[in-house]
Amino acid sequence: MPSTPPVRLDAPAARRAMAFASRANAALYRATGGRLGGRWRLHSGFPRGLPVCLLTTRGRKTGRLRTTPLLHLRPWPDRDAVAVVASQGGTPRNPMWYRNLLEEPRAVLQIGPGLRLVRARTADPAERAELWPLLVEFYPDYAAYQSWTDREIPVVLLEPAAGEAERR
């Protein structure tokens, strides 16, 4: 990864292109239960591919459901939690899906064909200190993204919503 951010990654045209690619990825993922669109094979995800999930949040302004494909990691073998990173490529602002979760932490997580209701929370400082090195090992580009922005990139934990079983 370059040591400086790509020019105008947060420009309107770039944001529109990323939104289109995300919608296309989510559609393929849903239609195939994750067989297509379920692995990220670009940048430091090449060639092995990294696992992708779909996270559906409720828009804080519109109330509409929004689905975002994200890399995910299951950091602890003894806990049913999934970690995702609100990096948005190191742009200056947190991604919309993260801002939506701050307003309404309940969301739907899809990994492969399985759907489940989750409750999202930002990792506390101790959890982030534990998880960040694992996440950078998992996807080294996160280190570059963090160096490109003044904000601390949030790590989000998605945990099963109380009383909710996995749906298939």
pLDDT band at 4 (very low <50, low <70, confident <90, very high): low
Distance between CA atoms of residues 89 and 1, nearest Å? 11
Tell me the per-residue pLDDT of 74-131, one tens digit each, with 9 for 90 and over: 998 889 999 999 999 898 999 999 999 999 999 999 999 999 999 999 999 999 999 9
φ, ψ at 167 (rounded to 5°)? -110, 145
Beta-carbon contacts of residue 94 (< 8 Å; ≥ 6 apart) = 86, 88, 151, 154
> What's the CATH number of domain 12-160, 2.60.40.10, 3.40.50.1470, 2.30.110.10, 1.10.287.180?
2.30.110.10
Strand, helix or coil at 26? helix
